[in-house]
Amino acid sequence: MITLRRATAADAPVIRRLIHAERLNPFGLNWRRFWLAMDEDGRVIGCGQVKPHCDGSRELASIVVLPAWRKRGAASTIIRQLLTENPPPLYLTCRAELTGFYARFGFAVVENPAELPPYFRWIIQLTRSLSHVFPPLARLRVMILRHTTTPKPQSLPAQSG
């Protein structure tokens, strides 16, 4: 059974290790914004946060689940919790092949960059610029999605802590 709890200062090293292992953006990892997914023995198996940006936009970010726990509902549990406590709009960046997963939660690809907050327009420009310098990035196809609907209440697993 997967349970959730808010992160504490003592969890900061675990959060950094999870993010580093998945090669996710290591910036903006404030433990105070994180929720942690725990296994039956209280071990951290995943995490996620909603990260604020200087333009006022907010990003569903740092969603990580240990490989042994993937496809078992941990990421979905974390995402539902974060959506419940963070009203829309929320944005996220992900690889193109993950857009279907996030669509289940009400996220949709933003096709027109003019509809994006300044931070995410900058991300698009940065990705394009870096792909000219480092061509393998062009194959990565980073997408920006937006969540604009309030989630329907769902029963969540028990939260410890």
Whether 157 has a pLDDT exceeding 60, the answer reads: no
Whether 139 has a pLDDT exceeding 80, the answer reads: no
- What pLDDT was estimated at residue 141? 72
More confident residue, 148 or 5: 5
Read off φ and ψ for residue 138, nearest 5 degrees: -65, -30
- What pLDDT was estimated at residue 58? 98
| Cβ-Cβ contacts under 8 Å for 93 (sequence gap 6 or more) | 59, 61, 120, 123, 142, 143, 144, 145
pLDDT (mean) for 114-142 = 83
Which domains are assigned to the chain? 3-147 (3.40.630.30)
> Count of CB atoms within 10 A of residue 123's CB?
20
Distance CA 29, CA 19 (A): 9
